[in-house]
Homo-oligomer: A and B are copies of this chain.
């Protein structure tokens, strides 16, 4: 199993994995590539090929077994490993994430919150332990935190991100409009800046409004 899997294929497989989880909970036993493709907005061919990359699963004939395929993706993509998560910046978005209960059963435990405002740390009511910002690196290291949600003010984003990374964080979901400059490249950053996303949507809308301008999806 030393084949290279294309990055977009991995991305799609993660989505397939999540979808299979939903289907599993709803009691479905089998699912076809065309159905997956329909729900995810890709072609059935494409999905079949993606599954094929992590290959040789004995499912032939009529569709895939939901839980078999789910476990198979999980195993091949190494998704089984539970990860510890922290939230940096406990403003409105940060504390909303901190309180969200849906992570645990997917294998992600929120084990710490950070904020530089000590008042806020005192008044916050949450079941998650919270710490002042200057303890970030230590706490991240001690608690073996691998993923972080960054929801601090834009000005502080790079400073805080660096402390998270110094502590050993390997993946950051960045809600900040700031661009995180990564000094190492074994750190992965996913940007979730709403303004940028709105811009992207705008561009796509403009494109299919003026069909004569350029013919992209």
Q: Is A58 part of the contact surface with B, judged by Cβ < 8 Å?
A: no
Known A78-B202, A85-B198, A102-B195; further 15 A-B contacts with Cβ < 8 A: A2-B213, A3-B214, A4-B215, A5-B214, A10-B204, A10-B216, A14-B200, A77-B202, A78-B210, A79-B206, A92-B95, A93-B96, A170-B205, A188-B204, A188-B205
Q: Which of chain B's residues have a CB closer than 8 A to the CB of A203? A: 10, 13-14, 77-79
By the criterion CB–CB under 8 Å, are A193 and B2 in contact? no
Number of chain copies forming the complex: 2
CB of A210, distance to nearest CB on chain B (Å): 7
Q: Select A173's contact among B201, B208, B217, beta carbons within 8 Å.
A: B201
Contact at A149–B6, with CB atoms within 8 Å?
no
**CA A99 to CA B106, docked complex, whole Å:** 30
Q: Which of A21-48 contact B (CB under 8 A)?
A: 22, 39-41
Q: Which residues of chain B are within 8 angstroms of A199 by Cβ–Cβ distance?
A: 14, 17-18, 79, 106
Nearest CB in chain B: distance from A70 CB, A: 12
Are B171 and A194 in contact, with the CB atoms below 8 A? no
Residue of B nearest to A106 (CB): B195
**Is A186 in contact with chain B by the CB < 8 A criterion?**
yes
Closest 3 CB pairs of A and B: A171-B201, A78-B206, A92-B96
